[in-house]
Amino acid sequence: MNARSLSESMAHKVERQLRGDILTLALPPGARISEQEIGERYGSSRQPGREALIALAKSRLVEILPQRGAVVARISVAKLMQAAFIRETIETAVVKAACNAFHFHARTRISDCLRAQEEAAESGDRAAFRRGDDLFHKTLAEGAGLPMAWSVVEDLKAHIDRACCLSLHAPHTLSKLVAEHHAIVAAIDRRDEGAAMTAMNAHLSELLHDLPKLEAQHPDLFE
């Protein structure tokens, strides 16, 4: 691997790690970040840090302020609502398609994923639960033969994930979300398009119902 490839590889690694820390609120909205601090945090030189900031600024997770450096963007309710609308449109269409044809290998992976989420919910492991949540929705799309649908959702959901992270701290939230996942899968198994779409809609609307309360509890994190 030549020097340029190594640099690109490190930049992607730093971007992924920085993005993850922003989405999980390890770096909260409003936090100042510099190229030097990124290098120290992730063990890189300044250049990969600079490239990571530019990439995340394009995703509007970071704001680069002239003469003042970069800050983690506050959560935008307007962007979150738009992302939630698009995600709901895509994922309800996915479960409708899944009711007509769902690959049996994906169905096995879904069962494994649900068991892992149940264990994460019981132990209160929110990080593992969130990984399992992403895998659940990704596997639904793959099983329905629509893997590109998840690629679109994954890019959009950055504007949803930080608020989601706040909501996961409420009591019984994890077990409730697992139950909603089971309801979606049960409807797909019955090939009941209407029930599957209703279950997915209810599942994805949960955060929107909690949003006013989250804003009130954490006003410093929102625009």
C-alpha closest to that of 29 among 80, 85, 87, 81: 80
42-51, 113-122, 134-143, 186-195, range with the lowest pLDDT: 42-51
- pLDDT band (50, 70, 90) for residue 8: low
| C-beta of residue 11 within 8 angstroms of C-beta of residue 47 | yes
Q: Which residue has the higher pLDDT, 115 or 67?
A: 115
Q: How many CB atoms lie within 10 A of CB 151?
A: 12
| C-beta of residue 158 within 8 angstroms of C-beta of residue 23 | yes
Q: What is the pTM of this model?
A: 0.87
Structural domains in the chain plus CATH codes:
3-72 (1.10.10.10), 77-221 (1.20.120.530)
With 0-12 CB in 10 A as exposed, 13-18 as middle and 19+ as buried, what is 101?
Answer: exposed
Strands 32-33 and 62-65: unpaired
- pLDDT at residue 45 greater than cutoff 90: no
pLDDT digits (tens, 9 = 90+) for 135-183: 999 999 999 999 999 999 998 898 899 999 888 876 688 999 999 999 9
Q: Which residue has the higher pLDDT, 49 or 219?
A: 219
How many CA atoms does the CB half-sphere of 86 hold within 13 Å? Answer: 17
Tokens of 59: 């995703």
- pLDDT at residue 206 greater than cutoff 90: no
